[in-house]
Structure 1
Amino acid sequence: MSEENRNNVIIVDNGNGDEPQLDYSGNRSFASVLEARLARRTVLKSTAGAAALGFMSLGLAGCLSSDNDDDDRAPGGGDGGEAGPLLGFTAIPTSESDDIVVPEGYSFQVILPWGAPILGAMPAFAIDNTGEDQGMQMGSHHDGMHFFPIEGEEPFEGSSDEGLLVMNHEYVEPRFMHADHIGVTLSSGAVVMRDDGTRDRDQALKELNAHGVSVVHVQKRSDNRWEHVQSDYNRRITGLTPMEIHGPVRGSNLVKTKYSPEGFATRGTLNNCAMGVTPWNTYMAAEENWAGYFGNRDETLPREHQRYGIRASDSRYRWALANGGGEEFTRFDATSTGASAADDYRNEPNCFGWMVEIDPFDPQSIPKKRTSLGRFGHEGVVFGPAVDGEPVVCYSGDDSTNEFIYKFVSEQPFQKGVTDGSILDTGTLYVGRFNDDGSGDWLPLVHGQNGLTAPEFADQADVLVNTRLAAGIVGGTPMDRPEWGAVDPNNGDVYFTLTNNSGRSEANGANPRTQNRHGHIVRWAEADGNHASTTFAWDIFLFGGDAGQSGVDNLKGKGPDGETLTADNLLSSPDGLWIDKDSRVWIQTDIGEGSQNSGVFEVFGNNAMLCADPKTGEMRRFLTGPVGQEITGVITTPDQKTMFINVQHPGATTTPEEWGAGQRYVRSSWPDRNPVRVPPRSATVVIWKDDGGVIGS
């Protein structure tokens, strides 16, 4: 964070708000495990054919060695059937253009940009919209999303022409939001303070209302284009929306605040990145890099603050300093000021870092924070197949370098038509340990076991509030920034993107597996095909890179059949991930705004979306986005003929100098193309195949 006075304007710059990328655990890094694994494997083929794709400039590597010593099915083994080619489109080249590019034979439409009115008085978008206006408009920085068919019965079956599009809004870029930020030399994360050192109250309200989730009723027209439908389903859930706390942490002393002395409730959800869809047709919003929204000036910070990156500063956007006060703003100051936790907001940060369940078909429902799934930087949550009579199983990654991958297994069995979100309140949270030989173990995070005992942990609520600490104690494997997960619907394989790990080592590029600039994707199969199992077999599905400059001698530029990454499929920083009904693996990239189109990242162009066939190892670039953005969020309608993706923070690479000099939209004017009056805006893109076929085929 920095603070300075420029031309009598006080500027506070908290950067991009990511949590510190540090290794607190002391456990072996994933890179060292991978090195041992690669040293012993001799054949880089999966049982279903050559696998995907590249290692940090090293080309195509295999999914799984055929020398696996485990008796359980290895990932990539398939379901025993043969399928035809999955990828029927021509790969597009990298791009630095300020536009969406899709393959020949496809068309697209931009809908629902930040500020588009969706409910209430339907205020039209303008740079001087009020905070109240923003609560009736699309939020900012679109991220993970799902299309719920309008019947409201199944999350992946039903109408392909009408439904509820539900999406997260991760964070905000204040310079794009406020009229008095125009013409001031500001970075993407900076805010302007008032002369008395406070934040403008309405600006703080606008930013809070731009966070959260949007529920939007949408309908397909006869020309393949989609439109917003005015109905009672439309809803905004923001940083101020009342929420209930459920699971073992409910009522704990660690979440008691002035707002909820009983520890039953809190307000709002923040920094929602990826998401999840439950088998009972509800939406799960993930609270990711939430810690930077809080400050704590106590002399000694509790571990549940310190371990998550909360510092003594006044928080990312300094909402606690909104002029006129009000607890909806001052709660972001977690300093102990009262006689007890019930007299202040010292525990407010403990009310964040959870998965939040939302029923999109009940606009009056209160969102619920499901604490059994753990507290950390949730990127999202992905559910295994729900089987009657079996537990519900879901997976989540902690989006910070050297953090962990988790699995939750419910105590109660799933019963179709009966089960609701309460099934997530009892069960076991596990952390993954990835062993050198390609095997893995799920280690339970249960009070009283594996060192999680008193006095260090008072009870299960303490374990869950301090999930990161508990995961390190029991021996979880620190990973290279776990982000999105996906489960192959045809064979149950679980995939997770590990976006990069450059933040934990010197930027000298000497060892590409310890300075993992370009990331990779890990994949595993649970023992006996049972997602509730406590063991699994893992390997690497994909290594990001630029097709072969430096690297390990025995893999340099080569894969199982001598393949190398090419201009059609090189990529860096895999992030968004989804697997469709036919097992196409859709991969979205997130090269950070400070690195895009420069240095070693220049070759990759703007962030993009690629598609891979896990049986053949083939991968092609399907879409590129405008300047400065991240491609994120992907889902199709049940018939797979309409795809929705999100474009987040276009124009974020605009420099402070360009912004201050009046060249505000020199980098991007997407999607409105009105660089005089309208800033770049995050938005949703609808894609269809001109011949009416399945997307990707």
Structure 2
Amino acid sequence: MEHVRQHPDRRLVLQSAMAAVVAMMGPVGYAGTSRPPLGFTAVPASLRDAVVVPPEYEYQVLYRWGDPTGIGSSLPAFRPDASNTAEDQALQAGMHHDGMHFFPLGSDGRRALLVLNHEYTDEHQLHADGAAPLTAAKVRKSQHAVGVSVIEIERLPSGWRQVLPSGYARRIHARTPMHIAGPAAGSALLQTAADPSGREVLGTLANCAMGVTPWGTYLTCEENFHGYFGADKSRGGTSDAAARRYGTTPGGQWVDWYRFDESFDVLKHPNESHRFGWVVEIDPMDPTSTPIKRTALGRKCTESATCTLTRDGRVAVYMGDDARFEFIYKFVSRDRVRPGGYAANRDLLDHGTLYAARFDASGQGAWLELTNGDNGHADQAEVLVHARLGASARGATPMDRPEWVAIHPRTAEVFVSLTNNSQRGAPGRPAVDAANPRANNLGGHIMRWTEAGADAAATTFTWSHFVLAGDPAVPGTDTRYPSPQADAFGAPDGLHFDSAGLLWIQTDMSGQAIGKGTYANLGNNALLCADLATGSIKRFLTGPNGSEITGCVVTPDRSTLFVNIQHPGETSDSGGARANSAWPDGSEPGSARPRSAIVAVRRRNGGAVGT
């Protein structure tokens, strides 16, 4: 397969090199572009249990939870009663599709790999008899339902189809062996009874946002890993300040995996949780390769690993830490990106400098280096394992849940979504500040900054707000959109720039809050498209009841937009036995088990999406 994989490798390197050239030229104005305005019919806010797209578009459903991944001859079909075994689930699409990327196979873009995350599980829907009673078999199935999928797809005149079987197909989950690399590898903080070396670990989980390296590998981000670690509270607590900061304490778990897999018991194996919360590098072109956890990028509820090149050819990786009052980070590699794809850059992410961002009231900002000399940690491994503590000690700005990061392909301007923070300004909690200007920030906001000299290696930047989101029609709501014509939205989450410079915004309003308060007139979660040249923001797609819209990626030729419909039917963040959706298989709630799925959207006339 080596002759096939050269095409996407070379394309990604060239794209990154072009971005570096743009950065060297300095920022340019959006108004100079010749792109026509957004050329689709905006869809209205909707509470329909359906995917709604503009009338000039059509969509198809690809790769639903439980669909076979295409691994060899093992193609277990989804059973509507959820009676598939744990062994079946290891060969099927996981639950709750999230971050995703399109890797072309060959130069014509007709065949490709889609690599996507599976963030978490709804235990009520995952098992035929629901979440209780919990059993060893249910825990194993749950562990197989998170992680990452690699699937092969092919474009036909009628649309896209999954290739079954495929030599590329792969499922990576919470039981997949992985290497640990970088400065924290081998540290005493990462050593366990099962792995005294501190260099090998089973699994990845809580995989939310993602990134793509200039050499063509996929970076999956371990976000809310703490929800899988815990212990019986009656056995005692912990005095470990770092464990409390990261939420890895007895009684803090969302799923009681520890009852049947003691590696997740924080009292028996306190170091196991230190082995999660990392950025994991995966070679999508080699299904036999071992994923690698890159500790130089820091441990946190990692959200996004967006890559770009510095002026001198090194790689910079932007990351959020998706929790209230946590931080935005940047990693800059020590070495330059080398020709030769993954083989030539296999350890590039193991050496470099990790920074956390400070946003000053002046509109200026600084990247604060996290080193053991500055924050009292014993060594750099401790700095990286407890990155949150180091960022606090250095004076980084606590943010309103920093999520996805996207970089404009022409100007190198960086955008980040801050989903919301209901505790901002509450008694005993951080007050509003210049970067996070609203108390009880339910609407969320999007910020942007330009690095000094438009160089991603810079240690200073200039920042501003792009949007303060929410419903302007709600009395007392301070919302700020770039133009009066902008369609309103709440809780921005995923961000993606396409090759034309259009910004695709995905939302994650709580299902319990939709149609109420700040979200009163915003409908179900949506995908919106923003034209920075005009300030126009138009609603492009709305999702089914209870769903989050995420993982948007547009093909290089802009002929197709892929997006994930996550957790349709969810009535609370912890799931629930009563789903309010039957999408995509049923006509009304209760008629079918709701399933996360990829949706492929195309113009009916075959033109570019968005314009």
Would the TM-score normalized by the shorter structure come out above 0.5? yes
Q: Which residue of 1 aligns with 2:136?
A: 201
1:422 aligns to 2:347 (yes or no): yes
Q: Within 1, Cα distance between the matches of 2:254 and 2:522? A: 30
1:294 aligns to 2:229 (yes or no): yes
1:651 aligns to 2:574 (yes or no): no
1:122 aligns to 2:36 (yes or no): no
Q: Within 2, Cα distance between the matches of 1:75 and 1:649? A: 41
CA offset digits 1:54-104 (Å, max 9, x no partner):
xxxxxxxxxxxxxxxxxx999974378432334111211000001111112
Q: CA deviation at 1:394?
A: 1.1
Q: Within 1, Cα distance between the matches of 2:165 and 2:575? A: 41
Q: Which residue of 2 aligns with 1:249?
A: 184
Q: Within 1, Cα distance between the matches of 2:64 and 2:539? A: 24
1:590 aligns to 2:508 (yes or no): yes
Q: Is the 8 A contact 2:306 2:319 kept in 1?
A: yes
Q: Which residue of 2 aligns with 1:334?
A: 266
Q: Within 1, Cα distance between the matches of 2:37 and 2:309? A: 22
Q: Which residue of 2 aligns with 1:518?
A: 443
Q: Which residue of 2 aligns with 1:187?
A: none
CA offset digits 1:463-496 (Å, max 9, x no partner):
0001000001001011111000000110100000
Q: Which residue of 2 aligns with 1:403?
A: 326
1:227 aligns to 2:162 (yes or no): yes
User: Equivalent residue of 2:166, what SS?
Assistant: coil
Q: Within 1, Cα distance between the matches of 2:215 and 2:339? A: 8
* Structure 2 residue corresponding to 1:575, chosen from 476, 493, 497: 493
* Structure 2 residue corresponding to 1:670, chosen from 575, 583, 597: 583
Q: Is the 8 A contact 1:74 1:524 kept in 2?
A: no
Q: CA deviation at 1:192?
A: 1.2
TM-score w.r.t. the length of structure 2 is: 0.89
* Structure 1 residue corresponding to 2:549, chosen from 631, 635, 660: 631
Residue identity opposite 2:606 in structure 1 = G
1:367 aligns to 2:287 (yes or no): no
Q: Which residue of 2 aligns with 1:307?
A: 245
Q: CA deviation at 1:346?
A: 2.0
Q: Is the 8 A contact 2:155 2:161 kept in 1?
A: yes
Q: Which residue of 1 aligns with 2:400?
A: 480
Select between 77-86 and 598-607 the one with higher mean Cα deviation.
77-86
Q: Is the 8 A contact 2:329 2:355 kept in 1?
A: yes
Q: Which residue of 1 aligns with 2:207?
A: 272
CA offset digits 1:507-566 (Å, max 9, x no partner):
9xx9981111101101000101111000101001111021254459xxx77778xx5366
* Structure 2 residue corresponding to 1:392, chosen from 300, 304, 315: 315
Select between 78-87 and 102-111 the one with higher mean Cα deviation.
78-87
Q: Which residue of 2 aligns with 1:685?
A: 599
Q: CA deviation at 1:305?
A: 1.5
CA offset digits 1:562-620 (Å, max 9, x no partner):
x5366xx1100000100111110100000012212233323110000101111211110
How many pairs were matched up? Answer: 572
- Once the two structures are superposed, the pairs formed by residues 603-614 of structure 1 within 5 Å of their partners are 603-614=521-532
User: Equivalent residue of 1:603, what SS?
Assistant: coil
* Structure 1 residue corresponding to 2:538, chosen from 602, 607, 620: 620
Q: Within 2, Cα distance between the matches of 1:105 and 1:611? A: 15
Q: Assess, with a 3 A threshold, how the Cα gap between structure 1 residues 124 and 614 changes in structure 2: closer, same or farther.
A: same
**Cα RMSD between the aligned structures?**
2.5
TM-score w.r.t. the length of structure 1 is: 0.78
Q: CA deviation at 1:503?
A: 3.4
* Structure 1 residue corresponding to 2:52, chosen from 73, 94, 101: 101
CA offset digits 1:237-284 (Å, max 9, x no partner):
001000110000000000001121011111101100010001110000
Q: Which residue of 1 aligns with 2:112?
A: 163
Residue identity opposite 1:678 in structure 2 = A
Q: Is the 8 A contact 2:400 2:424 kept in 1?
A: no
User: Equivalent residue of 2:518, what SS?
Assistant: helix
Q: Within 1, Cα distance between the matches of 2:575 and 2:118? A: 27
- Once the two structures are superposed, the pairs formed by residues 136-175 of structure 1 within 5 Å of their partners are 136-151=91-106, 158-175=107-124
Q: Assess, with a 3 A threshold, how the Cα gap between structure 1 residues 557 and 668 changes in structure 2: closer, same or farther.
A: closer
Structure ranking higher on relative contact order (CA contacts 8 Å, 6+ apart):
1
Q: Assess, with a 3 A threshold, how the Cα gap between structure 1 residues 179 and 505 changes in structure 2: closer, same or farther.
A: farther
Q: Which residue of 1 aligns with 2:6?
A: none
Q: CA deviation at 1:678?
A: 3.4
Q: Within 1, Cα distance between the matches of 2:399 and 2:590? A: 44
Q: Is the 8 A contact 1:75 1:539 kept in 2?
A: no
1:319 aligns to 2:257 (yes or no): yes
User: Equivalent residue of 1:502, what SS?
Assistant: coil
Q: Assess, with a 3 A threshold, how the Cα gap between structure 1 residues 73 and 385 changes in structure 2: closer, same or farther.
A: closer
Q: CA deviation at 1:161?
A: 1.4
1:261 aligns to 2:196 (yes or no): yes
User: Equivalent residue of 1:132, what SS?
Assistant: helix
Q: Is the 8 A contact 2:470 2:518 kept in 1?
A: no
Q: Which of structures 1 and 2 has the bigger CA Rg? A: 1
Residue identity opposite 2:266 in structure 1 = A
User: Equivalent residue of 2:132, what SS?
Assistant: strand
Q: CA deviation at 1:414?
A: 1.5
Q: Assess, with a 3 A threshold, how the Cα gap between structure 1 residues 657 and 334 changes in structure 2: closer, same or farther.
A: closer
Which segments of 5 or more consecutive residues in structure 2 lack a partner in the other structure? 1-22
Q: Is the 8 A contact 2:356 2:370 kept in 1?
A: yes
Q: Within 2, Cα distance between the matches of 1:361 and 1:147? A: 12
Residue identity opposite 2:85 in structure 1 = T
Select between 111-120 and 391-400 the one with higher mean Cα deviation.
111-120
Q: Is the 8 A contact 2:471 2:479 kept in 1?
A: no
Percent identity of the aligned residues?
45
Residue identity opposite 2:350 in structure 1 = D
Q: Within 2, Cα distance between the matches of 1:533 and 1:654? A: 41
Q: Within 2, Cα distance between the matches of 1:403 and 1:285? A: 20
Residue identity opposite 1:670 in structure 2 = W
Q: Within 1, Cα distance between the matches of 2:446 and 2:25? A: 16
Q: CA deviation at 1:160?
A: 2.0
User: Equivalent residue of 2:561, what SS?
Assistant: strand
Q: Which residue of 2 aligns with 1:601?
A: 519
Q: Within 2, Cα distance between the matches of 1:520 and 1:73? A: 29
Q: CA deviation at 1:365?
A: 0.6
User: Equivalent residue of 2:76, what SS?
Assistant: coil
* Structure 1 residue corresponding to 2:304, chosen from 380, 399, 422: 380
Q: Within 1, Cα distance between the matches of 2:568 and 2:382? A: 40
* Structure 2 residue corresponding to 1:133, chosen from 88, 92, 106: 88
Q: Is the 8 A contact 2:470 2:519 kept in 1?
A: no
Q: Is the 8 A contact 1:257 1:347 kept in 2?
A: yes
CA offset digits 1:21-70 (Å, max 9, x no partner):
xxxxxxxxxxxxxxxxxxxxxxxxxxxxxxxxxxxxxxxxxxxxxxxxxx
